[in-house]
């Protein structure tokens, strides 16, 4: 590929892809930047499965229900580009708000039902409508065959699957395993906002999830959650929620299902962290 390409709108991206990659497969990795090894693993998977990979970097204002969260979201575009430059078949699109949401916006609102009402849906009102909208438009404008998302944001993944099924897009949504640091903390752009001590304190999240996975069969749902909260509260983080739900519908835990997932959200001072564990 002739040199590293960065676009700031979809018109340039589309004509480049049409000219150079006509009839080749496009993988899409949507991101909000502040790239880490988790994103790199999505890109590597996308490169294995496609001829070319489009990485979008766009901090989507529509998915932030809290203006301070939007303001404080880490933005390190030079670092991101330096990381991406090493990949041969990657093109980057860093679109403006107007490019993602043009006046003739192609998105038709999708009803998200329960997905938008429980857990993340309850605590971040409007967030998933913003995610569904942006992912729809990023897919619509870059026309990938496959798009890659991490399982760390498992409720987001269900929202995206639901949005794709309810729209005219023909994109395979590929779920990729959560990448963790050596102590078990799920990688997240927000970890950049944690100091060393907070990194250590945040490990209680994975410890608590592991406790739920190990004990739910013997203790049952209610007692496991009670003990899990007790364990979590021995640490310094503030628990927002912990619950076990169906990983696709986000309906209630079913004792004999292999689709249960335990999801957690907590604040480490003012940094909001989420994680989950599949219970199998």
From CA 9, how far away is CA 100, in angstroms rounded? 8
Residues between 217 and 246 that touch ligand PAF (CB under 6 A) = none
Number of residues that bind ligand PAF (CB under 6 A): 10
Residue 136 known to be catalytic: no
- Signed CA dihedral, 103, 105, 111, 116: sign only: negative
Nearer to ligand PAF, 64 or 232 (CB): 64
Q: Which residues contact 242 (CB under 8 A, 6 or more apart)?
A: 208, 212, 225, 228, 229, 232, 262, 263, 264, 265
When asked if residue 260 is in the footprint of ligand PAF (CB under 6 A), the reply is no
Closest C-alpha to 5, from 76, 93, 79: 93
Of 153, 162, 163, 265, the one binding ligand PAF by CB under 6 A: 153
Token duo for residue 113: 């039902």
Among candidate residues 8, 39, 136, 200, the one labeled active-site is 39
Nearer to ligand PAF, 60 or 276 (CB): 60
* CB-CB neighbours of 130 under 10 Å: 16
Exposure of 259 by Cβ count < 10 A (0-12 exposed, 13-18 middle, 19+ buried)? Answer: middle
Residue span 188-217 as binding mask against ligand PAF, x where in contact by CB under 6 A, dash where not = ------------------------------
From CA 67, how far away is CA 73, in angstroms rounded? 10
Token duo for residue 217: 């069969």
When asked if residue 32 is in the footprint of ligand PAF (CB under 6 A), the reply is yes
Residues between 42 and 81 that touch ligand PAF (CB under 6 A) = 60, 63
From CA 158, how far away is CA 153, in angstroms rounded? 9
Residue length, the chain?
Answer: 280
Nearer to ligand PAF, 32 or 185 (CB): 32
Residues between 123 and 142 that touch ligand PAF (CB under 6 A) = 131, 134-135
User: Which residue has its beta carbon closest to ligand PAF?
Assistant: 30
Nearer to ligand PAF, 134 or 273 (CB): 134
When asked if residue 265 is in the footprint of ligand PAF (CB under 6 A), the reply is no
Of 10, 31, 121, 213, the one binding ligand PAF by CB under 6 A: 31
Q: Can you give the binding site for ligand PAF, defined by CB under 6 A?
A: 30-32, 60, 63, 131, 134-135, 153, 156
């Amino acid at each position: 590929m002739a040199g590293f390409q960065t676009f700031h709108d979809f018109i340039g991206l589309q004509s480049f892809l049409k000219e150079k990659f006509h009839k080749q497969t496009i993988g899409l990795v949507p991101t909000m930047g502040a790239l880490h090894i988790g994103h790199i693993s999505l890109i590597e998977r996308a490169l294995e499965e496609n001829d070319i990979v489009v990485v979008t970097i766009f901090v989507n204002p529509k998915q932030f229900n809290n203006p301070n969260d939007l303001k404080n979201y880490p933005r390190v575009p030079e670092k991101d580009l330096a990381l991406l430059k090493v990949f041969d078949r990657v093109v980057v699109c860093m679109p403006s708000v107007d490019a993602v949401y043009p006046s003739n916006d192609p998105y038709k609102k999708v009803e998200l039902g329960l997905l938008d009402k429980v857990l993340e849906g309850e605590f971040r009102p409007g967030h998933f409508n913003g995610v569904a909208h942006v992912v729809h438009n990023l897919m619509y404008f870059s026309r990938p065959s496959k798009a890659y998302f991490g399982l760390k944001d498992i409720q987001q993944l269900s929202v995206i699957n639901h949005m794709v099924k309810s729209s005219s897009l023909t994109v395979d949504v590929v779920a990729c395993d959560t990448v963790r640091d050596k102590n078990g903390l799920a990688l997240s752009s927000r970890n950049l906002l944690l100091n060393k001590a907070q990194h250590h304190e945040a490990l209680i999240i994975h410890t608590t999830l592991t406790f739920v996975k190990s004990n739910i069969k013997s203790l049952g749902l209610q007692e496991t959650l009670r003990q899990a909260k007790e364990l979590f509260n021995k640490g310094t983080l503030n628990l927002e929620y912990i619950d076990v739900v169906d990983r696709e519908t986000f309906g209630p835990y079913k004792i004999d299902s292999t689709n249960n997932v335990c999801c957690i959200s907590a604040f480490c001072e003012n940094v909001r962290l989420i994680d989950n564990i599949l219970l199998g």
